[in-house]
Amino acid sequence: MPLLLLRLLLPLALLAAVLASDDPFLSGAQANHSYNIDCGGAADFTSAFGRRWLADRYFSAGGNAGMVAEPHRFPQPQERTLRFFPPSSAGKSSCYSLPLPPGRYYLRVFSVYDNYDSKLRSPSFDVSAAATLVLSFRSPWPETAARYGAYSDLIFPSHSTTSTSTTSNSTTDVCFYSLSTDAPVVASIEVAPVHPLAYDGATTGAGIVLVNYGRLTCGNGLFGPGFTNDSDAFSRVWQAGTDFRNNDLSYDAITAGGRKIFGAEQPPNYFPAKMYASAVTTGGDAADAEIEYLMPVDTRLSYMVWLHFAEIDAGVGAPGQRVFDVMLAGRNVTRIDIFKQVGGFTAFKWTYIVENLTSNTMSVRLVPVVGRPILCGLENYAMVPLETRTVPNQAAAMKALKDSLKIPARMGWNGDPCAPRTWDAWEGVTCHRGNKGLVITQLDLASQGLKGFITDEISHLTDLVSLNMSSNSLTGSLPPGLGQPSLATLDLSSNQFTGSIPGTIGSSKLQTVLLNSNELDGQVPEILYSVGVHGGVIDLSGNKGLCGVPTLPACALFWEKGGLNKTGKIALGASFGLLLLVILIVVYIVCIRRGPYDYDFEFPQDLTSISAISAKRNRYQRAKSVMLAEMEAHSTDGLYTNGDRSPR
């Protein structure tokens, strides 16, 4: 979708470094969340305007640094260096990752070719922001843009690319996508925060990217940060409108004569006062003379048009003295009386959304009703809907996989895994639209030379139907997260996986399981082996340590591969537990259950004589007891006892 029209691009000969804004809105943000990135630059530096530029090594995903062919024609350091991304080494997609909290931002990209590669052919590539295709460069570029460079800018909403919305880890990617074998090229990237309500942000800010198709100052020459000493709250640059006027008509310029313009520099748009201090009006004496600007457009899109007025003619001092109609794309959309709306020397802005265009040029006409029409500025923004992105937790899981699998740069795993949909998804990745965004349904990474491991973050790919990582050099254990209920095909054959097969792998949808030629061990889960039993395909060969199912050895009771297996470890633990229990029972019986008089002890040596006397006394008592017992026995035979002499 060629959103960038190169006739809008500014010649680099007119450009200088962009000044930092002193606007109160921006200065209130932490570190401004502004970044001035010198693409291809080797070191940070401060420009002649006092603006800090950062080397892009902090943000870039790769590519190669380069230099324009004729650096002497580029006065600023960030204009001479560039970075290009050959798809053979950097992949189809290369990105700059910008740490931006959620909000709205102004993005300006400067691209220059200047035959840096000596091929005499400018490249074709696309640019995305917030996973949305926003700019397209097509070869050949116009000579001025190719040789001197071209700026393009837009306003976009930034959302977190992680599974959380915390500002500490929020990033936004600006990505460059190669077309054919061309290497995308970029010289600088600038980002500045924009008021959340600017440009009708309350109704369009969250879901719309505003791509600049013309930001014109009608009575001035080009001005803005980096081009002149004039400031702008959002770092906007205002082009002279002469290149877009219908030059078959006659125009005159008027100014405020140094008088102050009220109502400018106000939130949320902070339109600069300088724009309102001059204007264009019709020339000549014809009472019906019109003002007309011809703006290039893409008929597939809608456009947000902003018109800026100020009654800066002291001769107009009452309503009704200057009245004109506004015609957009041939339709009369409103009638303007500036003095009636705001009075004299006061900024007045008006906006309108144009839809259903049928021509690649949109006419903006001011038709007189009373007096001559007047126009201070004009803005025309293509309204590009923010594209559907990958579900956040799945995008985070894919980035975790990128790290754990050690995905090579040539595969281009940068930016959003699935968006923009105009581009291909990450190499080896297949996506589909889900209920809450784009979801990953297939990973085919066979024979890619991968040498990492599979992170358990893969469990967040809950829509994964097919996973093929065969014929790599992946190591480590199989994560439990491979047990997605949606998985139908699992091929991890010919790797170096170790350990046991998790019992989580296996579902009613799983039809193909290829784990052969690894170093797995332990008992095969019955739920996994049942895949083959129920008509699916399963191959576990080439894993000497696997056991417990038909076609594989029986699992040893306690011993396996020179050590205790899982069952053995459980049994050993149970034995130790039982032994400890027995010891506790014995201690309990011996030390707690004995009575208070059951203690044994030895007498000291000096008490031995007493012990002897006690022993004799005990012998006497036993003898006496025997005698009494015998006497009692005789009494039953007629003897008398206890003084009772009566016969019994």
Query: What does the angle CA 225 – CA 227 – CA 231 come to, to the nearest 5 degrees?
Result: 25
- State how far the Cα of 15 lies from the Cα of 148, in Å rounded to an integer: 9
Q: Distance between CA atoms of 168 and 191, rounded to whole angstroms?
A: 18
d(CA 379, CA 322): 22
The counts of H helices and E strands in the chain are 11, 36
Q: Shortest CA distance to 420 belongs to which of 468, 444, 384, 463?
A: 384
Buried b (16+ CB within 10 A) or exposed e, 38-76: bbbbeeeeebeeebebbbbeebbbbbebbebeeeeebeb
Query: Which of 222, 316, 310 shows the shortest CA–CA distance to 260?
Result: 310
User: What is the radius of gyration, based on Cα positions, of the chain?
Assistant: 43
Q: Give the whole-angstrom CA distance, residue 514 versus residue 452.
A: 19
pLDDT confidence of residue 314: 95
Note the pLDDT of residue 148: 93
Q: State residue 32's pLDDT score.
A: 61
Distance of CA 416 to the CA centre of its chain: 7
| DSSP-derived pairing of the beta strands 466-468 and 438-444 | parallel
**How is 8-56 classified by DSSP, letter by letter?**
GPPPGGG--PPPPP--HHHHTSGGGG-EEEETT-SS-EE-TTS-EEEEG
pLDDT at 11: 34
Instruction: Return the H-helix or E-strand segment holding 591.
Output: helix 566-591
294 DSSP assignment: E
Q: What is the mean pLDDT of each run of 10 residues along the chain (648 residues)?
A: 40 31 36 84 87 88 92 90 94 93 94 95 96 96 93 88 52 93 96 94 90 96 85 92 94 95 96 97 88 97 98 96 97 98 98 96 97 97 96 96 95 94 93 95 97 96 97 96 92 96 88 95 89 84 89 72 59 76 78 53 42 46 48 42 39
Buried b (16+ CB within 10 A) or exposed e, 229-249: ebbbbbbbbbbbbeebbeeee
Amino acid at 478: L
Token digits of residue 421: 């949909």
* Per-residue confidence (pLDDT) for residue 265, from 0 to 100: 95
Q: Of all helices (H) and strands (E), which one includes residue 570?
A: helix 566-591
332's enclosing H/E stretch is strand 331-336
CA atoms within 13 A on the CB side of 121: 8
Q: Is the peptide bond before 420 cis (omega within 30 degrees of 0)?
A: yes
118 CA to centre of own chain: 36
- Listed in sequence order, the residues at least 6 apart from 405 whose beta carbon sits closer than 8 Å to its beta carbon are 445, 450, 452, 453, 454, 469, 474
Neighbouring residues of 511: CB distance < 8 A, sequence distance ≥ 6:
488, 489, 531, 536, 537
Q: Torsions phi, psi of 385, nearest 5?
A: -60, 135
| Model pTM score | 0.80
Tell me the DSSP string of 511-522. Answer: -EEE--SSEEEE
Q: What's the pLDDT at 555?
A: 84
Q: What angle do CA 479, 482, 484 make, to 5 degrees?
A: 145
Q: Nearest CA to 55 among 157, 189, 159, 155? A: 189
What is the per-residue pLDDT for 640? 35
Find where tokens 């000044």 sit. Answer: 19
Q: Name which of 380, 450, 391 is nearest 417 in CA terms.
A: 391
Strand partners, 433: 438
pLDDT for res 168 = 52
Q: Are 560 and 539 in contact (CB under 8 A)?
A: no
The 3-state DSSP class for residue 527 equals helix
Q: Are 313 and 257 in contact (CB under 8 A)?
A: no
